[in-house]
């Protein structure tokens, strides 16, 4: 009897062990980073530089491929900014820093006249993991608070774009070549608009953070601009989305579009002709005093804006596309490209991206998205092989096999043939930024 009991217990233990093995998640080859949301400015990642592990928080960008930060004692040319407030790097005191004397002087290509310095390489701690000999810029003159963590593809490195020098391994590629991750790919979860932090995973995906399937979007030409760019089918508008008898689509703005996934900015931008129709559909009116677009606060809660891509649509409440200052005026955070009517693409910033889980694959040059799921739960899996091919997806319901893919089958809203036209107002980009910052200072 005793031997039978022992045998049964052993069998039960074996079954339990087998179940644990089948449910165990393998997150080796994944580097996890917290994204700190600095309200209405952007998302920061914390990194440590050099032999002294000096801490600096950098603005995350996917349109840039370079990392740079201010030098200790940087010449800060702005009277409104403390250039070292988010951290700096005393490269002269790092025993492991190497000045790249053969390279051109460092300048940030979005603002080359305001940010100047040197190139070098050193060991950098990212998400608790040390990346050796990582190339980055050290700004000795700057106008901005903090620096940038650019994780775009290497073809957009400033070395290649502006001085025709050889490309280098930027952060995701360096992680891959050093065996820290299996694939040069990363996932971004910004979280909800009221959350103070999100998640960045190098080399893996968190299945708990999205609903349905990850759908790989068709690519679109970047043209002269930094990407990534994807093809977008159309925009549509739902009125009274909470009502059961709602009309599914009230208005639709037809294609074609090129859409840029822009992790570096809070707001979104539309070409002038598309914005004219957008403003009419959301009842936005131009305010000459503030030089911004106002939306009736009471009606904003009764509408969603749909962004339709191949096999997936993302609906964003209009309330997430506005700011609501204390004086009761609601301000639209979707803008036309000011002072440049030639811009022919859509820029999708944080106010859109907070509603998606996004995967950027640098090796296969793809972007995949799914609807975000706001949760503290985690189900992290390292990438192995191709994330997905065009029109296929990783299903969060089958996370036990992250390499599996299935055809995405998200239904699209019925298209409407009605179109609207409206008026659009412009101003210079510098004037607009100054007005916006002044206006938002009262929020």
- For residues 114 and 317, the model is more confident at 317
The pLDDT value given to residue 425? 33
The pLDDT value given to residue 226? 60
The pLDDT value given to residue 8? 41
- For residues 246 and 192, the model is more confident at 192
Confidence of residue 167 (pLDDT cuts 50, 70, 90): confident
The pLDDT value given to residue 344? 79
Give the chain as a 3 state SS string.
CHHHHHHHHHHHHHHHHHHHHHHCCCCCCCEEEEEEEECCCEEEEEEEECCCCEEEEEEEECCCCCEEEEEEEEEECCCCCCCCCCECECHHHCCCCEECCCCCCEECCCCCCCCEEEEEEEEEEECCEEEEEEEEEEEEEECCCCEEEECCCHHHCHHHHHCCCCCCCCHHHHHHHCCCCCCCEEEEECCCCCCCEEEEEECEEEHHHEEEEEEECCECCCCCCCCCEEEECEEEEEECCCCCCCCCCCEEECCCEEEEECCCCCCEEECHHHHHHHHHHCCCEEECCCCEEEECHHHHCCEEEEEEECCEEEEEEHHHHEECCCCCCEEECEEECCCCCCCCCEEECHHHHCCEEEEEECCCCEEEEEEECCCCCCCEEECCCCCCCCCEEEEHHHCCCCCCCEECCCCCCCCCCCCCCCCCCCCCHHHHHHHHHHHHCCC
Residues 183-209 have pLDDT tens digits of: 999 999 999 988 999 999 999 999 999
- For residues 2 and 188, the model is more confident at 188
| pLDDT of 150 above 70 | yes
The pLDDT value given to residue 102? 59
* Average pLDDT, rounded, for the chain: 78
| pLDDT of 421 above 90 | no
The pLDDT value given to residue 90? 97
What is the mean pLDDT of the segment spanning 75-85?
Answer: 87
| pLDDT of 443 above 60 | no
Confidence of residue 37 (pLDDT cuts 50, 70, 90): very high
| pLDDT of 413 above 50 | no
The pLDDT value given to residue 409? 29
Query: Hey, CA dihedral for 131, 136, 138, 141, is it positive or negative?
Result: negative
Domains defined along the chain, listed by start: 31-181 (2.40.70.10), 212-368+416-440 (2.40.70.10)
Structure pTM? 0.80
Confidence of residue 213 (pLDDT cuts 50, 70, 90): very high
- For residues 106 and 417, the model is more confident at 106
| pLDDT of 284 above 60 | yes
Residues 345-395 have pLDDT tens digits of: 899 999 999 999 999 999 998 999 999 999 999 999 999 877 754 333 345
The pLDDT value given to residue 329? 82
| pLDDT of 214 above 90 | yes
């Amino acid at each position: 009897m005793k031997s039978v009991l022992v045998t049964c217990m052993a069998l039960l233990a074996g079954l339990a062990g087998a179940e644990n093995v089948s449910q165990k998640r393998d997150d080796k080859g994944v580097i996890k980073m917290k994204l700190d949301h600095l309200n209405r400015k952007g998302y920061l990642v914390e990194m440590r530089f050099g032999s002294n592990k000096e801490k600096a928080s950098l603005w995350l960008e996917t349109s840039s491929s370079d990392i740079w930060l201010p030098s200790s004692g940087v010449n800060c040319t702005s009277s409104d900014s403390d250039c070292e407030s988010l951290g700096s790097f005393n490269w002269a005191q790092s025993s492991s820093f190497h000045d790249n004397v053969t390279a051109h002087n460092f300048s940030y290509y979005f603002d080359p006249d305001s940010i100047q310095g040197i190139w070098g390489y050193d060991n950098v701690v990212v998400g608790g993991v040390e990346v050796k000999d990582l190339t980055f810029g050290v700004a000795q003159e700057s106008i901005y608070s903090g620096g940038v963590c650019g994780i775009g593809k290497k073809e957009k490195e400033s070395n290649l774009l502006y001085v025709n020098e050889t490309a280098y391994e930027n952060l995701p590629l360096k992680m891959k070549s050093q065996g820290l991750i299996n694939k040069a790919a990363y996932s971004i979860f910004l979280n909800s608009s009221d959350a103070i932090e999100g998640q960045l995973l190098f080399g893996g995906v968190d299945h708990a953070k999205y609903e349905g399937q990850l759908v790989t979007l068709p690519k679109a030409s970047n043209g002269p601009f930094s990407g990534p760019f994807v093809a977008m089918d159309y925009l549509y508008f739902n009125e009274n989305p909470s009502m059961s008898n709602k009309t599914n689509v009230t208005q639709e703005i037809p294609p074609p579009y090129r859409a840029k996934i822009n992790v570096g900015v809070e707001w979104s931008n539309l070409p002038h002709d598309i914005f004219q129709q957008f403003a009419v559909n959301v009842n936005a009116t131009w305010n000459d005093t503030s030089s911004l677009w106002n939306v009736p606060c009471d009606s904003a809660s009764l509408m969603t804006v749909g962004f339709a891509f191949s096999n997936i649509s993302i609906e964003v409440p209009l309330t997430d596309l506005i700011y609501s200052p204390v004086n009761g005026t609601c301000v639209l955070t979707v803008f036309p490209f000011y002072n440049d009517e030639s811009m022919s693409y859509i820029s999708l910033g944080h106010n859109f991206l907070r509603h998606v889980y996004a995967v950027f694959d640098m090796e296969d040059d793809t972007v995949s998205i799914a609807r975000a799921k706001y949760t503290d739960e985690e189900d992290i899996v390292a990438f192995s092989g191709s994330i997905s091919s065009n029109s296929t997806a990783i299903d969060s319901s089958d996370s036990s096999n992250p390499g599996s893919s299935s055809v995405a089958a998200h239904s699209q809203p019925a298209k409407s043939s009605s179109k609207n036209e409206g008026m659009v107002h412009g101003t210079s980009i510098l004037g607009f930024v100054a007005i916006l910052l002044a206006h938002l200072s009262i929020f």
